[in-house]
């Protein structure tokens, strides 16, 4: 079974953060969803950590925490923002950030084209534009092993689509928690 | 020459008495400014040491007051410990697969001419088979093909306005199984009605 994990971290009201990690199978059906509690740094913490606070919270606290709590430890991790790519230094799984392009299709499905050390285009669908994969390092991403899994999943579903679900699931969870608390 | 001389000034052109008054005036002005700068530097250094102390004690794994008691830190505790620490290990991670399965999954639309030839032929064969004995209009147009929609979730299928996506809800499968290889075909009849067929094309 081919699994892809997706990570997004939402900056909520009142400077609090919550993250969600959704793992889907080769049909895009959820097999795991983990989310963090809301975390809200105090004003003193915000002053002391300064500009490093956001990075520390996103990468070391929420991102790494979710990735380590996941059962799908070997699955590639698609992050919602390039700011989360340094997670590649903190977890043992391929990390990438995906972006649509309007470039003309590459030769055939599964074809890759390295644009530079941290960006490659991958043709996942025979007729549509290639996707841009942003990565932290070639060593972490291991394109030769990781890309075929994305190609397999792309036969069934749009591999960017599950990311959009995470925010909606987080919203739904927050609403449930608020209703239970009321 | 006085220590606080005015650089760039041609002092030889000034009367000695005036020069003395000028230097005195400069010293008078400079002294408060220097004091103020010195105070600011001291305050910044003190703050830096306090913050560094707090983080040093984080590295030591003990609170600033405890570190100070043990003589590991040579200055006063900066702030209450609980306010400084971001509790990484205590942040709870919760599993909620049910909520994730309640969220609709979107499948993008493909057009019939995007399908491989054999798959398109199989699709049209099944459409003719299923619609041959229908009482409706004979002219049907394929307006969208949506791959890999599990038949177990058929009851939850919704076609988005504009037909860009078909949505289904994984929780609609009562047994938690999801068969692959089924595609939803959206057809438009002569009168403009939309028909949906779930065909096994894989």
Q: How much is the pTM?
A: 0.75
Report d(CA A83, CA A99) in Å as an integer: 14
Q: Which of A26, A54, A9, A51 is nearest to A157 (CA)?
A: A26
Sheet holding B182-189, edge to edge: B140-146, B182-189, B194-200
Report d(CA A95, CA A139) in Å as an integer: 11
Tell me the pLDDT of chain A (182 aa) as tens digits.
899 999 999 988 777 899 999 999 999 999 999 999 888 888 888 888 888 888 888 999 999 999 999 999 999 999 999 999 999 999 999 999 999 999 988 888 788 999 999 999 999 977 788 999 999 999 999 999 999 999 999 988 999 999 999 999 999 888 888 888 76
Minimal Cβ distance to B114: which of A26, A29, A127: A127
Question: How far lies A143's CA from each of A5, A119, A150, B28, in Å?
Answer: 16, 11, 10, 70
Tens digit of each residue's pLDDT (9 = 90 or more) over B37-55: 555 555 555 555 555 545 4
In this predicted complex, what is the ipTM? 0.88
Residue from A40, A48, A174 whose CB has the most chain B CBs within 10 Å, to mutate: A48
Report d(CA B168, CA B198) in Å as an integer: 13
Pairing label, strands A119-122, B105-108: unpaired
Residue B107 touches partner A, C-beta closer than 8 Å: yes
Residues 131-160 of B with CB under 8 A from A: 147-148, 150
Predicted local distance difference test score (pLDDT) of residue B104 = 96
Predicted local distance difference test score (pLDDT) of residue B139 = 81
Is A156 close to B148, i.e. CB distance below 8 A?
Answer: yes
Averaged pLDDT score across all residues of chain B: 72
Report d(CA A96, CA A99) in Å as an integer: 10
Question: How far lies A57's CA from each of A73, A84, A96, B126, in Å?
Answer: 21, 11, 19, 54
Tens digit of each residue's pLDDT (9 = 90 or more) over B108-154: 999 999 888 999 999 999 998 887 766 656 688 999 999 999 999 99
């Amino acid at each position: 079974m081919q699994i892809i994990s997706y990570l997004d971290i939402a900056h909520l009201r009142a400077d609090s953060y919550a993250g969600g990690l959704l793992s889907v199978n080769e049909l895009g059906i959820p097999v795991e969803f983990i989310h963090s509690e809301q975390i809200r740094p105090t004003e003193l913490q915000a002053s002391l950590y300064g500009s490093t606070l956001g990075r520390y919270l996103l990468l070391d606290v929420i991102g790494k925490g979710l990735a380590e709590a996941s059962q799908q430890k070997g699955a590639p991790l698609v992050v919602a923002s390039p700011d989360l790519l340094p997670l590649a230094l903190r977890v043992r799984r391929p990390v990438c950030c995906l972006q649509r392009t309007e470039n003309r299709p590459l030769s055939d499905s599964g074809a890759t084209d390295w644009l530079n050390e941290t960006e490659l285009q991958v043709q996942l669908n025979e007729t549509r534009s290639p996707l841009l994969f942003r990565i932290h390092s070639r060593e972490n991403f291991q394109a030769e092993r990781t890309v075929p899994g994305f190609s397999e999943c792309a036969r069934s579903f749009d591999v960017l689509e599950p990311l959009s679900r995470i925010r909606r699931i987080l919203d739904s969870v927050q609403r449930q928690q608020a209703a239970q608390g009321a | 020459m006085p220590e606080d001389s005015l650089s760039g000034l041609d002092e030889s052109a000034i009367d000695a008495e005036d020069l003395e008054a000028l230097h005195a005036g400069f010293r008078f002005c400079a002294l408060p400014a220097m004091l103020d700068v010195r105070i600011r530097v001291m305050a910044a250094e003190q703050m830096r040491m306090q913050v560094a102390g707090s983080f040093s004690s984080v590295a030591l794994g003990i609170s600033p007051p405890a570190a100070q008691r043990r003589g590991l830190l040579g200055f006063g505790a900066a702030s209450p410990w609980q306010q400084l620490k971001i509790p990484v290990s205590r942040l709870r991670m919760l599993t909620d697969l049910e909520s994730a399965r309640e969220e609709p999954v979107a499948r993008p639309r493909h057009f019939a001419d995007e399908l491989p030839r054999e798959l398109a032929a199989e699709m049209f064969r099944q459409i003719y088979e299923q619609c041959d004995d229908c009482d409706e209009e004979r002219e049907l147009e394929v307006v969208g093909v949506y791959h890999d929609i599990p038949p177990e979730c058929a009851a939850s299928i919704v076609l988005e306005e504009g037909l860009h996506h078909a949505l289904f809800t994984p929780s609609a499968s009562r047994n938690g199984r999801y068969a692959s290889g089924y595609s939803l075909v959206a057809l438009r009849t002569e009168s403009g009605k939309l028909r949906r067929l779930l065909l096994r094309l894989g």
